[in-house]
């Protein structure tokens, strides 16, 4: 099955860059903290920020918890990695989510890969 | 009097002996279902990877039969037919089709009973929303799907995340044994053997350590060899296969694992094994 979107944290972005892997579609959870035109900033608990490259029809709201499915891409001007958003799911108030659980899920899914990803 | 008693006992024995062979019949299948009513948390990938030893047999994940599974994920597609609703559930590890048969009786009562209105809204799942599904793995032709008993909306993201962790924990239970010192079952069953072994406890612990890294089938064989009454020559592979209700090829493979680690040894011929204890 090819429809796999590994859950990651900002520190894993490099591992899913198009240059290092053919499957660069990922899933990441965070709070939208800023929106500037066609880019946005996703804050992932205490794990840092990720720059989101948005489509014109994206409907993200600052302050909401969202789960992003997207492709890892290079940012313009060599500013490192970002995620080109393909889809997003809103999960409401970030306070309702225990981000520690998500961090453990990311760790477990990569440590015990056989039941999650090929 | 005597004769009838013998008749009774022989027919009873015959019935008992026939049971393993009957596993293929519907009755045998039901017996298995009754013993295994567990609800196992799984990922979509585990459902797609689940194996079936032979057609119509229960599906297996990590070598253990699964009766019911619990899956959580996002609904990517809903297609309503007159007899069933088919959902596509995506949890990031793959996509699984879920079929929920429409129960016309409940559907009607929900539509008409005003008192049930809040409950009705609660059971409604939406496209691109998340759902928790429980049901059993089915296959139709080459297509794998879940025959759902229940498809309900999921709104708390923590529930989704803990589900993935639970699935991991259960996977580890089946592949590595219970947490905190594997071979718990072996130790519990080995009471009689321990008395004979006397001071051999420490050695046994070493074997358990070796066992901990082995496959589930290997552990099952070891436990059977440890508990099953037998003579000095141990048990033949075919006997083990029929006692454990497993294909001989699988028993053979696991046996090599045990032989390689030196926890069992072959006796009369290469297919007859006993535990290496002294």
| Residues of B in Cβ contact (< 8 Å) with A109 | 164, 168
A7 vs B92, B94, B130: nearest CB:
B92
pLDDT at B193: 35
pLDDT at B251: 86
A97 vs B48, B74, B157: nearest CB:
B157
User: Nearest-CA neighbor of B204 among B255, B275, B273, B260?
Assistant: B275
Kindly report the CATH number that applies to the domain delimited by B209-275. 1.10.10.10
pLDDT at B164: 97
pLDDT at B265: 84
For range A90-104, the mean pLDDT:
96
Q: Would residue A1 count as lying in a domain?
A: no
Strands (E) in chain B, as ranges, are 39-41, 60-61, 64-65, 68-80, 84-90, 95-101, 130-140, 143-154, 235-236, 264-266, 272-275
What is the average pLDDT value for chain B, to the nearest integer? 76
B164 vs A4, A67, A109: nearest CB:
A109
pLDDT at B105: 65
Residue at token pair 């313009």: A76
Q: How many other CB atoms are found less than 10 A from the CB of residue B129?
A: 14
Using the Cβ of A6 and the Cβ atoms of chain B, whether some distance falls under 8 Å is answered with yes
Contact A101 B45 (CB under 8 A): no
Cα(A51)–Cα(A34) distance, rounded to whole angstroms?
Answer: 10
Q: Domain range holding A39? A: 10-116
pLDDT at A36: 92
Cα(B212)–Cα(B207) distance, rounded to whole angstroms?
Answer: 9
pLDDT (tens, 9 = 90+) of chain B, 278 residues, equals: 444 444 444 444 334 444 443 444 444 444 445 567 889 999 999 999 999 988 888 899 999 999 999 999 999 999 999 999 999 999 999 999 999 998 766 655 554 444 443 444 456 899 999 999 999 999 988 899 999 999 999 999 999 999 999 999 999 999 998 887 644 444 333 333 333 333 333 344 455 666 767 788 888 888 888 888 887 788 888 888 888 888 888 888 888 888 887 788 888 888 888 887 75
pLDDT at B246: 85
CATH superfamily placement of domain B39-106+125-176: Nucleic acid-binding proteins (2.40.50.140)
> Is residue B16 packed enough to be buried (19+ CB in 10 Å), middle (13-18) or exposed (0-12)?
exposed
The alpha-carbon gap from B48 to the nearest alpha carbon of chain A, in Å, equals 8
For range A100-110, the mean pLDDT:
96
pLDDT at B172: 94
Q: Would residue A5 count as lying in a domain?
A: no
The alpha-carbon gap from B232 to the nearest alpha carbon of chain A, in Å, equals 40
The per-residue pLDDT for range A40-70, each reduced to its tens digit, is 999 999 999 999 999 888 889 999 999 999 9
Annotated domain spans of chain B: 39-106+125-176, 209-275
pLDDT at B23: 41
Residues forming a β-bridge with B235: B273
| Residues of B in Cβ contact (< 8 Å) with A1 | 44-45, 48, 94-95
| Residues of B in Cβ contact (< 8 Å) with A4 | 45, 92-94
* Number of domains making up chain A: 1
Full-model pTM: 0.66
Residues forming a β-bridge with B138: B145
Contact B157 A112 (CB under 8 A): no
pLDDT at B244: 85
The alpha-carbon gap from A43 to the nearest alpha carbon of chain B, in Å, equals 17
B43 vs A104, A116, A118: nearest CB:
A116
Helix/strand/coil for B64:
strand
**Is A7:A105 a contact under the CB 8 Å cutoff?**
yes
Q: Hey, do B39-106+125-176 and B209-275 end up sharing a CATH topology, with the first three levels equal?
A: no
Structure tokens at A35: 């929106």
pLDDT at A85: 95
pLDDT at B12: 43
**Is B6:A78 a contact under the CB 8 Å cutoff?**
no
B168 vs A3, A27, A112: nearest CB:
A112
Structure tokens at B22: 């009957």
Asked if pLDDT for residue A94 goes beyond 90, the answer is yes
The alpha-carbon gap from A98 to the nearest alpha carbon of chain B, in Å, equals 7
Using the Cβ of A49 and the Cβ atoms of chain B, whether some distance falls under 8 Å is answered with no
pLDDT at B195: 35
What is the average pLDDT value for chain A, to the nearest integer? 92
Which CATH number goes with the domain that contains A42? 2.40.50.140
pLDDT at B120: 47
pLDDT at A1: 41
Enumerate residues 6+ apart whose C-beta is below 8 A from B194.
B201, B204
The per-residue pLDDT for range A17-35, each reduced to its tens digit, is 988 877 889 999 999 999 9
């Amino acid at each position: 099955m090819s429809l796999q979107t590994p859950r990651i944290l900002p520190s894993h972005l490099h591992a899913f860059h198009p240059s290092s892997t053919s499957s660069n579609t990922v899933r990441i959870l965070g709070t939208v903290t800023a929106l500037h035109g066609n880019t946005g900033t996703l804050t992932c608990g205490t794990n840092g920020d990720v720059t989101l490259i948005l489509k014109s029809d994206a409907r993200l709201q600052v302050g909401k918890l969202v789960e992003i499915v997207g492709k890892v891409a290079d940012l313009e001007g060599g500013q490192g990695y970002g995620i080109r958003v393909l889809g997003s799911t809103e999960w409401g108030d970030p306070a309702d989510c225990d981000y520690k659980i998500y961090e453990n899920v990311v760790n477990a899914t990569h440590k015990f890969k056989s039941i999650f990803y090929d | 009097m005597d004769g009838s008693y013998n008749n009774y006992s022989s027919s009873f024995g015959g019935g008992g002996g026939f049971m393993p062979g009957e596993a293929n019949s519907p009755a045998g299948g039901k017996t298995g279902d009754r013993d295994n009513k567990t609800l196992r948390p799984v990922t979509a990938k585990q459902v797609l990877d689940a194996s079936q030893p032979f057609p119509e047999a229960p599906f297996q994940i990590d070598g253990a039969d699964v009766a019911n599974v619990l899956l959580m994920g996002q609904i990517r597609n809903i297609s309503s037919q007159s007899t069933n609703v088919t959902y596509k559930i995506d949890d990031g590890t793959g996509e699984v089709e879920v079929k929920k048969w429409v129960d016309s009786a409940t559907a009607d009562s929900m539509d008409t009973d005003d008192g049930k209105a809040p409950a009705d809204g609660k059971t409604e799942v939406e496209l691109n929303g998340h759902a928790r599904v429980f049901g059993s793995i089915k296959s139709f032709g080459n297509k794998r799907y879940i025959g759902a008993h229940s498809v309900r909306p999921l709104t708390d993201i923590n529930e989704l995340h803990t589900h993935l962790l639970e699935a991991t924990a259960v996977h580890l239970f089946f592949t590595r044994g219970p947490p905190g010192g594997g071979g718990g079952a072996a130790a519990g069953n080995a009471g009689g053997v321990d008395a004979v072994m006397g001071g051999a406890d420490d050695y046994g612990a070493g074997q358990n350590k070796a066992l901990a890294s082995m496959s589930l089938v290997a552990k099952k064989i070891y436990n059977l060899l440890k508990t099953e009454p037998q003579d000095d020559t141990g048990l033949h592979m075919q006997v083990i296969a029929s006692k454990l209700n497993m294909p001989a090829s699988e028993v053979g493979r696991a046996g090599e694992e045990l032989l390689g680690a030196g926890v069992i040894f072959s006796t009369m011929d290469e297919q007859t094994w006993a535990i290496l204890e002294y």
